[in-house]
Amino acid sequence: MSEGPDPAEARVISHSVMSRAWGLRVNTIAASNLVSRPLRRRIYRHAGLEVETDDIYPHCYFHTCDIRIGPGSVINYGCYFENVGRVEIGPRTGLAMFVKVITSAHKIGSRERRPVKWTPTPVTIGAGCWIGAGAIILPGVTIGDGCVVATGAVVTEDCKPDALYGGVPARHIRDLPPEAP
């Protein structure tokens, strides 16, 4: 006698782009310029995303519902979340246009097949951060509270709180004062 599908696996399918209906609601309808920000938030929440802000702009892409966006955060136009691993975005954090958050990678295999064993790894972006336009956050990275990531940076390692990071790969540029001058 078959026990049926694993409930966790069923949730992944029904709350990700593996479900055409879910993908249509989240990445086409909610992502449209024709949808108001409050309605977009309601659609995302109904689809299982943990969204605590109305400030998510059009054309953002979510691979699954495994994300939490804190209150007062701003997700600008065209951000891309390949969130097969959990993504946590703290309160009052801003992601500029076209930021990409990647949560999975493949181990490197032999020349017959280089991409082997797919591994999702969570990404955490702390409270009060500012991620510049076109920045890319790679799997497993934690960005500390109050951190600034410069436009176009590729973040491959953890970033400490209250610091400025930039470049490819991103490197520590300087510490920032915890309080405004």
* pLDDT, tens digit, 9 for 90 and up, residues 135-145: 999 999 999 99
Domain ranges of the chain: 7-174
Count of all residues that appear for the chain in the document: 181
Q: Indicate the SS3 state at residue 3.
A: coil
The tokens describing 154, both together, are 């590729």
CATH number corresponding to 7-174: 2.160.10.10
The Cα–Cα gap between 118 and 128 comes to 32
> pTM of the full predicted structure?
0.89
Strand partners, 148: 130, 164
Between these two residues, 1 and 142, which has the higher pLDDT value? 142
Helix-strand-coil split of the chain, %, nearest 5: 15, 30, 55
The tokens describing 4, both together, are 């049926």
Q: Which pLDDT value is given to residue 1?
A: 46
Where do the H-state alpha helices sit in the chain?
Answer: 7-14, 20-24, 37-46
Is residue 32 scored above 90 in pLDDT?
yes
Is residue 5 scored above 90 in pLDDT?
no
Strand partners, 165: 149, 172
Helix and strand numbers, DSSP H then E, in the chain: 3, 18
Mean pLDDT of the chain: 91
The per-residue pLDDT for range 42-80, each reduced to its tens digit, is 999 999 999 999 999 999 999 999 999 999 999 999 999
Indicate which residues carry an active-site annotation: 106
